[in-house]
Chains A and B, each alone.
Chain A
Amino acid sequence: NAGVTQTPKFQVLKTGQSMTLQCAQDMNHEYMSWYRQDPGMGLRLIHYSVGAGITDQGEVPNGYNVSRSTTEDFPLRLLSAAPSQTSVYFCASSPPSYNEQFFGPGTRLTVL
């Protein structure tokens, strides 16, 4: 199993550009989520999904969209990038017990 994979590893955007961060898992986990990590603030939940076709907002959803058309994929879209979205983004998935989340390696995004 590859586990949770994320692409790209690094990305630089200009203010106003849009892009999609990709996340995929091959463990057949129903639960997937996106977090952003900022210095001194731990990880904050952006959006999550409890299954294909079901998504919901987390703590900091503004400026981001998600969709879940398959169990495996959970892309995160930045609609119009802003410097405040400069961060490291982590995708995670969880088995039905919800007692552990498996994290991807992260995407480091810089918005100029």
Chain B
Amino acid sequence: GNSVTQMEGPVTLSEEAFLTINCTYTATGYPSLFWYVQYPGEGLQLLLKATKADDKGSNKGFEATYRKETTSFHLEKGSVQVSDSAVYFCALILMDSSYKLIFGSGTRLLVRP
């Protein structure tokens, strides 16, 4: 079946540390891939996306590359800030008639000053 697997959190880092959150997927066909971010008490916001293999999505210093050969879409940031503390969700969308968005379980990031 179609699924997304993310590394379990919480991930705790010091400010300016390097961040990697792993995400792998299983899907039929060629999905589009997303990272969403949820700040405390808020809804989900799209952070970045990639629609085909080898595409790199980037936003606010975050990057992720669509790797078809390893079915991965790992999120990275070179220097995290306290304001990056949030829950990060990896997701894929099935481009069939349902257009369903399938989420991973989320990874909580806590950045300490």
Q: Which of A32-57 contact B (CB under 8 A)?
A: 33, 35, 40-45, 48, 50, 56
Pair A43/B103 contact, Cβ less than 8 Å: yes
Min CB–CB distance B45 → chain A (angstroms) = 7
Contact partners of A102 in chain B: CB under 8 A: 46
Q: How many residues of A contact B (CB 8 A)?
A: 25
Min CB–CB distance A52 → chain B (angstroms) = 16
Contact partners of B34 in chain A: CB under 8 A: 100
Pair B93/A42 contact, Cβ less than 8 Å: no
CB-nearest residue of chain A to B104: A42
Pair B99/A50 contact, Cβ less than 8 Å: yes
Contact partners of B51 in chain A: CB under 8 A: 99
Contact partners of A44 in chain B: CB under 8 A: 103
CA distance A45 to B100 in the complex (A): 8
Q: How many residues of B contact A (CB 8 A)?
A: 24
Assuming the contacts A99-B49, A103-B44, A105-B42, asked whether A42 and B32 have C-beta atoms less than 8 A apart, the reply is no
Contact partners of A90 in chain B: CB under 8 A: 43-44
Dominant secondary structure at the B interface: strand
User: CB of A75 within 8 A of chain B?
Assistant: no
User: CB of B82 within 8 A of chain A?
Assistant: no
CB-nearest residue of chain A to B106: A42
CB-nearest residue of chain B to A58: B100
Pair A31/B99 contact, Cβ less than 8 Å: yes
Besides A42-B89, A44-B103, A50-B99, 13 more A-B contacts (Cβ < 8 Å) are A35-B103, A41-B105, A42-B4, A42-B104, A43-B89, A43-B103, A90-B43, A90-B44, A98-B99, A100-B46, A101-B46, A103-B36, A103-B43
